[in-house]
């Protein structure tokens, strides 16, 4: 009887029908292809994995990053969703996990801010807050005080349990000096009168309010005098402001100028809104941000607004999105200040603990050190991570940028006060070392197409000037920036429509931006990577690569598998997984019905230009790094695994398999009979135990549309000389699978014995 070889074409093709996919693979699970000089590629079992960290993270891991400090200590940063507000950001070192999740506190309190003329030092009163030098305050409500406008992020400096200092500076760090001194305490009102449209208060002096500044009046009877007003004139014992109050003064009251939030005024039937804010400094065309929604006169103000008109140094005009239904006034945030604290936790001080200090001094177990008020650990929906030398840099989605130095002893990641407070993500550009933030902001409202970057080697400077290389650029096309990475010799920026090159040119423009591919946008925020000098990514309906030839589509014979089954509501959960050890790039993706969890993968072999696919859940991944082979996070149990270090799936057997399309046993109108199969495989590692147990199953039919008859499975080991399936037909599909522990295999030249066996 004649013999023939059972040779498989490398790669999986699911786009073809089984009959069209003759002698090739149609289904796969946890396999790979290795290059061969004669056959192109050989099929073998995928490498296994073992736990990198012994305990579960406890929540979905969204990103991983490996780096090393100057003492050659290696770290793995873990960005997670967080459970119960903890564990959102942590670092693993030598199987010890440290939670460095940033902490925040958000409060609305009465404005109590003081300044001294000629100084940029600002004192803020927030009773019982116990702000210390590791804290940063984000003032979301503009506060006008002492001729200054306070808005944005400021480093805090502790004064006491109830007060702290910040320093007013311009964008490049130069001091902004107060033009007048605020009150040390409220002045007592001794009388009041109204003269048509002007109210005048007399008070115990001497103190002169600056014309155009804002005062707050409380406790006056009648109440018509109370409120926040702009000073029209003042003496050392009286102050006047616009008012319709004409009622005679009765009793009581006090007046302060400890700062105030903007006052909005609408006019019925008009979309113009007057904004009263002393010493605002705006000119026509500037952008005025409202970060806390404020409703008045039937309209709600929130977002960025263009200044349409400037009436005075205290009043300007913006346009609401619709006309007001009534004339009304309202203070931003009800007149209260909104302080969003980033509560940094520094090193534990020396000399703390039980028995330290004099008897009875300090809290029990704390010695004499006062511990600052803790904040609430943040939660995050996603993370971008990188390192600035030995310093970890992290950014939660739509959040600020944090740093953590492993040698500093800091217990939490600390926010960069000067960096933008809202970003979609960031990376560290090389070789000049700058943090590149995208989906960034100048106002506190995120701009999905804005890129900002810090100065070279200085992440504390983000405002461009002729003396630094900080800057910004807004991508002019698309609806949002999806992802940015450091690619070969340049940064790469993907929008939903295209890919842009971001090339360092030095001063004065620092970076040039060029659209290098259109119609090749990115499907999700973690679907692109660079490996071996080439960049790979997944678009909304196609795969691409960027090489010396420019942007090229990658043919995808498993297109049906991914693009007909992917859950398009959760494309930002796609995770790309490069594996440079084997020249592979995988995409883990959520399928319809998986609740957004990545449960399947497609894998591209860049050496052989072929694909395979299977089921496996990974929510985060890093390529080979200072920690060794690739590391991935499981979506099913939130463990972190190191890949390519085992023959098993974390101590359990791996089920690896592939199934071919139909082999045509005879092109003539006759059936063939096959009675023997002679196995030929590698049954274990080189010079190792040859113990693999592989099963062969045959699916035989005469016509492609028929339900095939199954023969097997037949067990094969190195000791098996041949198996006798004894089947007849015209078409046969072969499935090879294994599920034994501690085994590995690679397919060789399997042969079979056959003969013609009639027409029917």
- DSSP conformation letters of 643-707: EEEESSBTTBPP-EEEEE--EES-SSSS-EEEEEEE--EE-SSTTS-----EEEEEEEESSTTSP
What pLDDT is stored for residue 1 in this prediction?
Answer: 67
Q: How far apart are CA 464 and CA 508, in angstroms?
A: 10
Sign of CA dihedral 17, 18, 23, 27: positive
58's torsion region: left (phi>0), alpha (psi -120 to 50) or beta? left
Question: How does strand 9-12 pair with strand 24-29?
Answer: parallel
Tokens 């463990």 correspond to 639
What pLDDT is stored for residue 676 in this prediction?
Answer: 93
What pLDDT is stored for residue 578 in this prediction?
Answer: 98
Neighbour tally for 581: CB within 10 Å: 13
For the stretch 581-622, pLDDT in tens is 999 999 999 999 999 999 999 999 999 999 999 999 999 999
What pLDDT is stored for residue 513 in this prediction?
Answer: 97
Three-state DSSP class for residue 319: strand
Using alpha carbons only, what angle is made at residue 105 by residues 101 and 108, rounded to the nearest 5 degrees?
Answer: 165
Q: How far apart are CA 637 and CA 59, in angstroms?
A: 9
What pLDDT is stored for residue 490 in this prediction?
Answer: 94
pLDDT along the chain (760 residues), means of 10: 82 95 94 90 96 94 96 96 78 96 95 93 94 96 94 95 94 89 89 84 88 86 87 90 83 90 94 93 96 96 97 93 94 94 77 40 40 82 96 97 94 96 97 96 97 97 94 96 95 97 94 96 97 96 94 97 97 98 97 95 97 98 97 95 97 96 84 92 94 96 93 95 93 96 94 83
Neighbour tally for 114: CB within 10 Å: 22
What pLDDT is stored for residue 84 in this prediction?
Answer: 58
Three-state DSSP class for residue 34: strand
For the stretch 471-492, pLDDT in tens is 999 999 999 999 999 999 899 9
Q: How far apart are CA 646 and CA 601, in angstroms?
A: 20
Tokens of 128: 């019982």
137's torsion region: left (phi>0), alpha (psi -120 to 50) or beta? beta
What pLDDT is stored for residue 229 in this prediction?
Answer: 84
What pLDDT is stored for residue 580 in this prediction?
Answer: 97
Question: How does strand 434-438 pair with strand 198-203?
Answer: unpaired
CA 687 to each of CA 653, 683, 690: distance values in angstroms, whole numbers, following the listed order: 22, 11, 8
CA 669 to each of CA 23, 661, 700: distance values in angstroms, whole numbers, following the listed order: 20, 20, 16
Sign of CA dihedral 136, 140, 145, 146: positive
CA 316 to each of CA 284, 445, 484: distance values in angstroms, whole numbers, following the listed order: 9, 20, 38
Tokens of 129: 């807050």
What pLDDT is stored for residue 87 in this prediction?
Answer: 82
Question: How does strand 425-429 pair with strand 414-415?
Answer: unpaired
Using only the alpha carbons of the chain, give its radius of gyration.
34
Tokens of 551: 């942007």
Question: How does strand 584-590 pair with strand 136-145?
Answer: unpaired
Q: How far apart are CA 526 and CA 455, in angstroms?
A: 26
**Where does residue 669 rank: exposed (0-12), middle (13-18), buried (19+ CB within 10 A)?**
exposed
């Amino acid at each position: 009887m004649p013999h023939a070889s059972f040779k498989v074409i490398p790669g999986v093709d699911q786009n073809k029908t089984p009959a069209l996919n003759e002698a090739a693979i149609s289904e796969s699970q946890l396999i790979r292809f290795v290059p061969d000089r004669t056959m192109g590629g050989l099929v073998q079992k995928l490498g296994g994995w073992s736990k990198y960290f012994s305990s579960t993270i406890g929540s979905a891991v969204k990103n991983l990053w490996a780096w090393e400090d100057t003492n050659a200590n290696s770290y793995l940063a873990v960005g997670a969703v967080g459970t119960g507000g903890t564990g959102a950001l942590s670092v693993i070192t030598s199987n010890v996990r440290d939670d460095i999740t940033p902490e925040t506190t958000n409060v609305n309190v009465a404005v109590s801010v003081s300044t001294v003329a000629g100084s940029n030092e600002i004192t803020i009163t927030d009773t019982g807050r116990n702000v210390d030098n590791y804290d940063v305050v984000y003032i979301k409500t503009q506060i006008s005080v002492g001729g200054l406008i306070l808005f944005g992020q400021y480093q805090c400096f502790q004064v006491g349990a109830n007060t702290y200092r910040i320093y007013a500076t311009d964008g490049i760090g130069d001091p902004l000096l107060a033009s007048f001194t605020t009150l040390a305490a409220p002045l007592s009102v001794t009388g009041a009168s109204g003269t048509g449209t002007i109210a005048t208060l007399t008070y115990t002096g001497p103190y002169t309010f600056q014309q155009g500044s804002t005062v707050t009046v409380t406790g006056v009877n009648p109440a018509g005098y109370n409120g926040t007003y702009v000073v029209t004139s003042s003496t050392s014992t009286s102050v006047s402001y616009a008012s319709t109050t004409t009622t005679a003064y009765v009793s009581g009251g006090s007046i302060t100028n400890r700062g105030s939030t903007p006052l909005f005024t609408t006019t019925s039937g008009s979309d113009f809104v007057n904004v009263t804010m002393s010493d605002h400094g705006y000119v026509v065309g500037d952008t005025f941000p409202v970060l806390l929604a404020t409703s008045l006169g039937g309209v709600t103000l929130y977002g960025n607004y263009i200044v349409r008109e400037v009436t005075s140094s205290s009043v300007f005009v913006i346009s609401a999105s619709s006309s007001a239904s009534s004339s009304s006034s309202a203070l931003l945030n009800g007149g209260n200040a909104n302080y969003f604290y980033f509560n940094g936790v520094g090193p534990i001080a020396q000399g703390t603990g039980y028995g330290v200090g004099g008897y009875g001094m300090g809290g029990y177990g704390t010695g004499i050190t006062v511990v600052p008020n803790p904040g609430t650990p943040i939660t995050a929906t996603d993370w971008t991570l990188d390192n600035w030398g030995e310093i970890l840099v992290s950014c939660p989605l739509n959040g600020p940028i944090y740093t953590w130095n492993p040698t500093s002893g800091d217990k939490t990641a600390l926010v960069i006060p000067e960096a933008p407070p809202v970003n979609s993500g960031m990376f560290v550009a090389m070789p000049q070392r700058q943090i590149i933030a995208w989906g960034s902001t100048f106002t506190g409202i995120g701009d999905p197409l804005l890129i900002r970057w810090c100065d070279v080697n200085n992440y504390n400077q983000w405002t461009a000037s002729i003396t630094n290389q900080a800057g910004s650029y807004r991508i002019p096309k698309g609806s949002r920036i999806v992802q940015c990475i450091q690619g070969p010799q340049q940064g790469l920026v993907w929008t939903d429509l295209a890919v842009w090159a971001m090339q360092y040119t030095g001063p004065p423009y620092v970076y040039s931006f060029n659209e290098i591919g259109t119609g090749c946008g990115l499907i999700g925020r973690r679907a692109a990577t660079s490996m071996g000098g080439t960049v790979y990514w997944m678009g909304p309906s196609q795969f691409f690569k960027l090489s010396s030839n420019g942007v090229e589509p990658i043919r995808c014979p498993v297109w049906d598998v991914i693009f007909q089954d992917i859950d398009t509501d959760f494309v930002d959960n796609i995770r790309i997984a490069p594996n440079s050890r084997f020249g592979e790039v995988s995409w883990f993706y959520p399928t319809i019905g998986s609740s957004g969890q990545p449960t399947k993968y497609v894998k591209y072999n860049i050496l052989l230009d072929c694909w395979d696919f299977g089921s496996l859940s990974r929510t985060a991944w890093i390529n080979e790094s200072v920690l060794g082979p690739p590391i991935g996070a499981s979506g099913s149990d939130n463990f972190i695994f190191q890949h390519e270090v085992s023959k098993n799936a974390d101590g359990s057997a791996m089920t690896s398999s592939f199934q071919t399309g139909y082999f045509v046993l005879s092109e003539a109108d006759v059936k063939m009979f096959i009675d023997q199969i002679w196995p030929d495989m590698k049954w274990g590692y080189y010079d190792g135990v040859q113990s693999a147990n592989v099963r062969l199953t045959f699916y035989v039919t005469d016509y492609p549309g028929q339900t095939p008859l199954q023969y097997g499975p037949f067990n094969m080991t190195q000791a098996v000389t041949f198996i006798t399936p004894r089947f007849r037909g015209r078409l046969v599909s072969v499935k090879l699978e294994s599920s034994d522990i501690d085994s590995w295999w690679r397919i060789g030249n399997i042969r079979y014995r056959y003969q013609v066996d009639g027409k029917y």
